[in-house]
Structure 1
Amino acid sequence: MASKKRKSYTPAYRREAARLVIDTGRPVAHVAREIGVGEQLLGRWVGIERARDDGPPPALDADERAELERLRVENTELRMDREFLKKAAAFFVTENQNR
C-alpha cells in the first residue's frame, strides 16, 4: 500500500486563492470547489490574508466624517422610534385583550 503524498502549494498560490474569495466576495466553499482545494484549507488561507490586510483603518476626510456623524444621529433617532413603536404595539395588544 503506497502512501499518498501531500500536496504542497506555493505562498503565491495561497495568496491568489485567498484573494479570489476576498476580492470577489464569493463563498469559500464555491472557490474551493473550483480550484480543487479543501474548504478548511482555503478558509485558513483567507484568514491569514485578511489578518495581513488588517492594517490601520484609512483616515476619513471631512465629507466622510460629516456623513458618519449624520448617520450616527439618524441611527439614534431610528432606535428611539423603534422603542416607541414597540411600546405602542404592546399597549394596543393589552388594550385589545381587555375588550
Structure 2
Amino acid sequence: MNQRNRRSFTKEFKHEAASLVVDQGYSIAEACRAMGVGPTAMRRWVLQLQGEQGGLTPKAQALTPEQRRIQELEKQVQRLEREKSILKKATALLISDEI
C-alpha cells in the first residue's frame, strides 16, 4: 500500500505563511508557491489568523502569541475549577463524617 506521510508545520511557520496573505497582500496561490504548501492548508491558516486577529480563540493551537496566551490561561482556569470542585467535595465529605 502506498502511504503518504503528512507534513507537519510549526505554529510559527503557519503564522508566517498566513501573514503573507493577511498582512502582506499576497494571493493564496502566491503564498502557496512562496511557502511550498497546498492551497487547502493555506486557506485554513488564513481563516484561522483572520479569526484570531478578530478576537476569536481557535479550537486548534493558536497562531498569534496573544491567542496562545489566552489558550494557556483558559487551560489554567479549567484546572483550577477542577481542583476547586474536588476540594468542595472533600470538604463536604469531611463535614458529613463529623455529623
Question: Normalized against structure 1, the TM-score is what?
Answer: 0.51
- Cα displacement string for residues 40-65 of structure 1 (whole angstroms, at most 9, x for unaligned residues): 1101100000000014xxxxxxxxxx
- Cα displacement string for residues 27-78 of structure 1 (whole angstroms, at most 9, x for unaligned residues): 01111012110011101100000000014xxxxxxxxxxxxxxxxxxxxxxx
Task: Tell me the distance in 1 between the aligned counterparts of 2:16 and 2:25.
Answer: 14
Show the counterpart of 2:20. Answer: 20
Q: Does 1:33 pair with 2:5?
A: no
One-letter amino acid of the structure 2 residue matched with residue 51 of structure 1 = G
Q: How many residues are treated as equivalent by the alignment?
A: 55
Alignment root-mean-square deviation, CA:
1.3
Structure 2: gaps of 5 or more residues: 56-99
One-letter amino acid of the structure 2 residue matched with residue 49 of structure 1 = L
CA drift at 1:17: 0.6
Show the counterpart of 1:5. Answer: 5
Q: Return structure 1 stretches of 4+ with deviation > 2 angstroms.
A: none
Show the counterpart of 1:44. Answer: 44
Structure 1: gaps of 5 or more residues: 56-99
Structure with a larger share of its residues in helix: 1
Larger radius of gyration between Structure 1 and Structure 2: 1
One-letter amino acid of the structure 1 residue matched with residue 36 of structure 2 = G
